[in-house]
Structure 1
Amino acid sequence: MRAFKKIIISLAFGTLFSSCTSLLYTSLDVLRPAKVAFDINANNLLIVNNTVKQPIDYGHKTQLLNEKQKSVLIATDSLAIFCLGSLTEEMEAKDFFPSVKLIPNSINESVGFESITYIDEDKVKKLCLENNSNVILSLNKIKVNDDLNEYYINETSTYLSALELKFETNWSIHYLNNSKPSSIQFKDTVYWESESYIRRKAMADLPKRADALVDGALSVGQKSISRFVPYWEKVDRYFFYSSKKLMKQGMDSVYVKNWNPAIELWKQALNKTKSERLKAYAANNIAIAYEILGDVDKALEFATISYYSFGQLSLVDYDSYIRISEYVTELAQRKKEMKILKKQLGN
């Protein structure tokens, strides 16, 4: 079983009034599976820079107001180092692998930037043995196209300057005893804009281009962590509040996080009432409580009951109906994700 840093779910409550319906919303952390799964036996990770430097005259364009577009020269030779440094720091913080090591300087001796050269089997074995690793995550290419543009907005009589960075990265995963690597590609965009009545100020308020490229590379590394290891995502959930006795007693238990007593009270309300609206409210609340307890199957069961109860109403709160519909869809997706997570975590 993989080690994974335990996150304590924190609940922050607030009240929302929507179409005469009183809601109590809360936020919780949900574990999402990685986009790419490592072999469960891959324990000691080695992150390798296998890139060729992007030429200084490649991909840098400037389009100033009333001028022709021109290419500019910018050194991007350190982008891979910043990207991998950021990724390594995030990977270490996750505690997903017992050990994480980084080779920051490129091991790639080729000169062709456009082509991709993967680490060969002999090199994989050598690197793994030298670094006591059994899996390599290799960055084989990082390419950026950056555009600096300047506009005049007639409606507001202002100048707008925009800097957009479009990154493309190619990665591969290599195992010590497996000659077939898996390859994946990602695209990321980082964007800044500045608006002012003064043309020079609009441009000056943007970050310096070289600094922006470094920030962009760091951002790519940070974003990549959720592609390679499971990650926590904050989501909002909405309890229905009702003045009915059992519903209210259930909510009193929520405030002190007594989820099982709350569920039992809401189940009583669900079974005793003839009101489809109250059934919808109670079933929704039960679903959320079960999700917080980690029982996604039960959560989906009662969210579905809530959805169909809302459908029986002759006069339905449209916002509530859409919200429960989306919740059912999300729980169904979470159920699929749980199966993937079990494989990724070795449960």
Structure 2
Amino acid sequence: MNKRHVFLSFCIFLFLLFMNSCAGIQYMTIETEEPAQLTLPANVHSLLIVDNVVQQPDEVGHKKKPLEKKEFEPTKVSADSISTYYTEAFTQFLSEEQYFDTVILYNKPLRTDTNFWEEKPIMPEKMNELRKETETDAIVSLDKLILQTEWIDLFMQEGYNFATMKGKIHSILRVYMPTMEGKIPAVYFTDSLRWEGFDIRDDMAYANLIIPTPEEAMKQLAVYAAEKMVNVFAPHWEMQNRWYYTLYNPLMREGESYAKSAEWTKAIWKWQTFYDNEKNKVKKAKAASNIALAYEMLGEMDKAYDWITLSVQLFEESVSPNSLDKKRAELYKNEIKRRKDNSAKINMQINK
């Protein structure tokens, strides 16, 4: 093969490589507005947050596996003030959402007994007394709080143990309102967090290399759970991933350029022009998916749903049942439908 043929072959290879690099998927992160998981009556504008649990006994829920030991050993950990951390954090986070006119934390725990395992819901008389005292419409009560920690020492380095710890939290919040006719909505939450690091209690290491004490871990669990509970009571924003297809075509590339600068109307114009003139069903399906994304970004969910439905149909007609593009389009169609269904709920909650 002469040098000219070698050069031409190399140029063709580079051209094909460039085309492949220009065709694919670009990912992006967006924020979507989500409704509160629990819709309270429209006349509830203020909430009172109360601590209605008994402090967990020190000997309940905690175990440790020391270095070179095969079995876990029960250990005592103080849960002092953990329910206060929970209710204070929940009150602060919910207030910051500015969804309710007022969110107040009651200044003292309601329970004075020592029966940790028994739940004692607030009686109607007490509920009305608290509401009248604080001039609030409803009460959100922390009625159950159970915490667990599991500590494992793994090895020793320079005189310090390196360990892992898993913490688990289970809580129950109830909503007390005089208008619910005996129905008391309950919100159950169970989750866990994991830590690892050196068991150091001095200033000789960076903080991110130090494992918290079980007491500190329980505080972090309480704040974590409180933050999650805000989504139950107030509309909120969540981060989600989206994507759009890129193809080696001037119209598709121009649409991509507009998408990168969030000029979605112009992106639609370019992508739809490509769609209208393209014969290949797979490419049309990808363009339709892009157009659906653009309409979602513009908040036009009905049009977004129409275009992603069209994309799914085109993929079904042109690719195998197990095609990743087809499955991706189906997932996106379900997501758009979910957002369509939620939009009325969000509007009702925001305009209550």
- TM interval, shorter chain, is 0.7 to 0.9
Distance 1:249 1:171 in 2: 51
Q: 3-state DSSP class of the match of 2:224?
A: helix
Q: 3-state DSSP class of the match of 2:69?
A: coil
One-letter code aligned to 1:50: N
State which of 283, 288, 297 in structure 2 corresponds to 1:292. 297
User: Which TM-score applies when normalising by structure 1?
Assistant: 0.83
74 and 292 in structure 1: CA distance in 2 versus 1, 3 angstrom threshold: same
**Is the Cα contact below 8 Å between 1:121 and 1:179 reproduced in 2?**
no
**Aligned runs of 1:1-347 on 2, under 5 Å?**
21-64=23-66, 65-151=68-154, 161-180=163-182, 181-194=184-197, 205-313=210-318, 318-346=323-351
The alignment's C-alpha RMSD in Å is 2.7
Segment of structure 1 superposing worse, 88-97 or 64-73: 64-73
Q: 3-state DSSP class of the match of 2:185?
A: strand
| Partner residue, 2:11 | none
In structure 1, runs of 5+ residues without a counterpart are 1-16, 153-158
Shift of 1:194: 4.0
One-letter code aligned to 1:288: L
Bigger radius of gyration, 1 or 2?
A: 2
- Matched residues, percent identical? 24
Tell me the alpha carbon deviations over residues 187-215 of structure 1, each in whole angstroms, 9 at most, x when there is no partner: 1212113489xxxx9xx942122111212
Tell me the alpha carbon deviations over residues 45-100 of structure 1, each in whole angstroms, 9 at most, x when there is no partner: 11111111111121111122325432222211211100111111111111111111
Tell me the alpha carbon deviations over residues 316-345 of structure 1, each in whole angstroms, 9 at most, x when there is no partner: 994433322221122122223224323433
**Is the Cα contact below 8 Å between 1:167 and 1:187 reproduced in 2?**
yes
One-letter code aligned to 1:129: K
**Is the Cα contact below 8 Å between 1:307 and 1:324 reproduced in 2?**
yes
Q: 3-state DSSP class of the match of 1:100?
A: strand
Distance 1:111 1:19 in 2: 67
**Greater share of helix residues, 1 or 2?**
2
Distance 1:91 1:213 in 2: 21
Distance 1:272 1:316 in 2: 26
Distance 1:56 1:179 in 2: 38
Q: 3-state DSSP class of the match of 1:107?
A: coil
In structure 2, runs of 5+ residues without a counterpart are 1-18, 156-160, 200-204
Distance 1:174 1:31 in 2: 27
